[in-house]
Structure 1
Amino acid sequence: MKLIQVTPSELKEIFNELLDTKFREFFNSYDNQQKPEFISRTEAKELLNVSYVTLNNWNRKEILKPSYIGNKPYYNKQQIIKQLSKGN
């Protein structure tokens, strides 16, 4: 076993460098995550080429579930694309 002597200031510097590296890795991975893109009801209707009634029916059947900001529904575009790839 080999002992290494480190002064408190050197230990603090090593610790800070390690923390900086880990924080950078964390924030880089967070920035690289795909952020959801929300579209309006009108945009969803046009993207899917369906009527507002169909969107409401799909909401009731929980095929496409909107998120609400105030009273306005917004649809997750990735969820719509996922549903389209399923063929529903």
Structure 2
Amino acid sequence: MQIIQVTPSELKEIFNELLDTKLKEFFSSKENQQKTELLSRKETKELLGVSYVTLNNWNRKGILEPNYLGNKVFYNKQQIVNQLTKGN
């Protein structure tokens, strides 16, 4: 075992660097783990102002990507927003 002597100011600097690194890791992981908001077919059609037939057509054409939970269809709200902004 080796003992290293550090001054209080050096120890404080080491601690601050470690804390900064850990805080950056924490906040970047939180941003990457944003909750996915799923919309029902009804919510999606109302948000977009289209009919169920249009939603089905967009599914077949790959414009929207449906997510299935059991026999229910949901849409990722962020994907819808991305599609809308991509079109502009």
TM-score with structure 1 setting the length: 0.66
Within the alignment, does 1:61 sit opposite 2:61 as a pair? Answer: yes
Within the alignment, does 1:5 sit opposite 2:14 as a pair? Answer: no
TM-superposed CA distance for 1:42, in Å, is: 0.3
Match runs of 1:1-88 below 5 Å: 4-5=2-3, 26-33=25-32, 34-87=34-87
> Which segments of 5 or more consecutive residues in structure 1 lack a partner in the other structure?
7-16
> Which segments of 5 or more consecutive residues in structure 2 lack a partner in the other structure?
5-14
Percent identity at matched positions? 58
- Report the Cα distance in structure 2 between the residues aligned to 1:50 and 1:82, rounded to whole angstroms: 17
TM-score with structure 2 setting the length: 0.66
